[in-house]
Structure 1
Amino acid sequence: MIKAQQLDLAKCQVCRGRAVIRGIFHELDCLQCNASGWVTAETGEALPLEVLVRQLSIRLQSAEQRIATLNSFKPAGAEAQYQQNNGRGAGGTNYTGD
Structure 2
Amino acid sequence: MKKSHGPAFRAAKLDLAKCPACGGKAVTQGVFHELACVQCNASGWVTAETGGALPLEVLVTQLSIRLRAAEHQIAQHNCFRPAGAEAQYSENNRRGPGATNYTGD
Give yes or no for TM over 0.5: yes
Which amino acid in structure 2 is aligned with residue 12 of structure 1? C
Aligned to 2:81: 74
Where structure 1 has 5 or more consecutive residues not aligned to the other structure, the ranges are 93-98
Aligned to 2:19: 12
Q: SS at the partner of 1:50?
A: helix
Q: SS at the partner of 1:34?
A: coil
How much has 1:30 moved relative to structure 2?
0.2
How much has 1:74 moved relative to structure 2?
2.2
Aligned to 1:29: 36
User: When you count helix as a share of all residues, which structure comes out higher?
Assistant: 1
Q: Give the alignment's TM-score, normalised by structure 1.
A: 0.76
Distance in 2, matches of 1:55 and 1:84, equals 43
Q: Give the alignment's TM-score, normalised by structure 2.
A: 0.71
Identity %: 62
Distance in 1, matches of 2:37 and 2:88, equals 50
List structure 1 runs of 4+ shifted beyond 6 angstroms.
none
Alignment RMSD (CA, Å): 2.1
Distance in 2, matches of 1:84 and 1:29, equals 54
Distance in 2, matches of 1:20 and 1:38, equals 11
Where structure 2 has 5 or more consecutive residues not aligned to the other structure, the ranges are 1-7, 90-102
* Equivalent of 1:52 in 59, 66, 77: 59
Distance in 2, matches of 1:84 and 1:44, equals 54
How much has 1:73 moved relative to structure 2?
2.4
Q: SS at the partner of 1:39?
A: strand
How much has 1:69 moved relative to structure 2?
1.1
Rg larger in structure: 2
